[in-house]
Amino acid sequence: MSPLGWFETMPVLCVATNIEELYNSVLIETPLAPYFKGSLSHQDLDELNIEIIRNTLYKNYLEDFYKFVTENPELKGTPTSEVMAEVLEFEADRKGYQYHSQLLRHRAVETR
């Protein structure tokens, strides 16, 4: 099952016929909306931007999950909170290193 779970507008995904409809169905009318409203339009959804969008969404997800784990009154100060915070910090660092490594490789190829 998707980490986003099931949401009411999920069946609409099957009938989207263009990027704008998909944008409105997936990114605006779903639990993903807070990550994209005001910072992304349907014009941004092309092959060149998809990787950037995916990484931005993942970063926002990690930040929200970290905030939940460390600030939720039911979890705060528990072993679960401490372990999950460390795991999420490690994952954020790993993604940062991965991003910069890919960027350096890309620049090296461009300069050849």
pLDDT at position 1? 40
What 3-state class would DSSP assign to 104?
helix
Q: What is the mean pLDDT of residues 71-77?
A: 94
Q: pLDDT at position 25, please? A: 66
Closest listed residue to residue 70, CA positions, set 80, 61, 60: 80
Closest among 7, 25, 8 to 16, alpha carbons compared:
25
Q: How large is the average pLDDT for residues 41-55? A: 69
Query: Angle 47-71/79-110 helices, nearest 10 degrees?
Result: 160
For residues 75 and 112, membership in a common domain is answered with yes
Query: Are 23 and 53 in the same domain?
Result: no
Domain identity same for 91 and 76 = yes
Q: Report the range out of 1-15, 17-31, 95-109 with the highest average pLDDT.
A: 95-109
User: Domain tally for the chain?
Assistant: 2
Please check whether residues 21 and 57 belong to one and the same domain. Answer: no
Cβ(44)–Cβ(35) below 8 Å: no
Regarding whether 79 and 53 lie in a shared domain, the answer is: yes
Considering the domain architecture, whether residues 80 and 65 belong to the same structural domain is answered as yes
Task: Please state, as a whole number, how many other Cβ atoms lie within 10 Å of the Cβ of residue 69.
Answer: 20
Contact 10, 31 (CB under 8 A): no
Range(s) of the domain holding residue 18? 1-40
Helix (H, G, I), strand (E, B) or coil at 34: helix
Which whole number is the average pLDDT over 80-90? 95
Per-residue pLDDT, averaged over 51-62, amounts to: 79
Residue 111 has pLDDT above 70, yes or no: yes
pLDDT at 98 over 80: yes
